[in-house]
Amino acid sequence: MLRVMSRSLVPDAVERYVAMEISRETPLQRRLREETSHLPLAGMQIGADQGALLAMLVRLMGARRAIEIGTFTGYSALAVASALPAGGKLVCCDVSEEWTSIARRYWKEAGVADRIQLKLAPASETLAALIRDGGTGTFDFAFIDADKSNYDAYYEACLRLLRAGGLIALDNMLWSGRVADPQFHDDDTDALRALNAKIRDDARVDACLMTVGDGVMLAQKRPPQ
């Protein structure tokens, strides 16, 4: 029996309803969730509803080129890559050979491995290399879901890599509600709280903080003024 990880601020029964009754998952996605659930850090995996959201955004935009920062066992990458058209490309950034070796197995089984380029290196290095190699303005979609203290740097790099109209989705922007408590301070909470406020005031994007999961911030790059 698959347990529901608590990710969101909605009551447990509602989260269970969303995750187990209403969110559609392929048998392969379900198997990946099952295998991941045995890992000590299983709670890092996005929810089924978030996977469906990312896939829908990718399809709505007609995205062809995407970036992911934080891959873990590959659930979000599987959702995004499966929503890309044939010939689409997803660059995945992670530092863990162990976790991403699980991801590779599932991508292969889903028939999307040829769309995914996994870069095992600190994401800041991979993003800098993409910019250096002429990637500026060439991506449609980015999903940020890795180390929180570097989110601002990832946001800035992704903004450069996206075309006008491109979309960045950032996970965990509610940080279990801690960002909303001005008395609460630690490095990650302070970084995420500051980034929420920065994006709110950022004239380069149109933005919306969605209360799905642990908070998904959507920031769409505006054309140059």
Nearer of residues 70 and 88 to ligand SAM, judged by Cβ: 70
Q: Does 83 bind ligand SAM (CB under 6 A)?
A: no
Binding mask 28-47 for ligand SAM (x = CB under 6 A): ----------------xxx-
Q: Does 81 bind ligand SAM (CB under 6 A)?
A: no
How is residue 220 written in tokens?
A: 């769409």
Site for ligand SAM in 87-106 (CB under 6 A): 93-96, 99
Q: What single string gives the DSSP state of each residue in 129-161?
A: HHHHTT-TT-EEEEEE-S-GGGHHHHHHHHHHH
Q: Which of 7, 19, 25, 72 binds ligand SAM (CB under 6 A)?
A: 72
In whole angstroms, give the CA distance from residue 88 to residue 164.
Answer: 18
Tell me which residue has tokens 């392929």. 26
Asked if residues 116 and 92 have their Cβ atoms less than 8 Å apart, the reply is yes
In whole angstroms, give the CA distance from residue 22 to residue 30.
Answer: 14
How is residue 143 written in tokens?
A: 């999903």
Site for ligand SAM in 144-203 (CB under 6 A): 145-147
Q: Which of 17, 39, 122, 188 binds ligand SAM (CB under 6 A)?
A: 122
Site of interaction with ligand SAM (CB under 6 A): 44-46, 70-73, 75-76, 93-96, 99, 122-123, 145-147
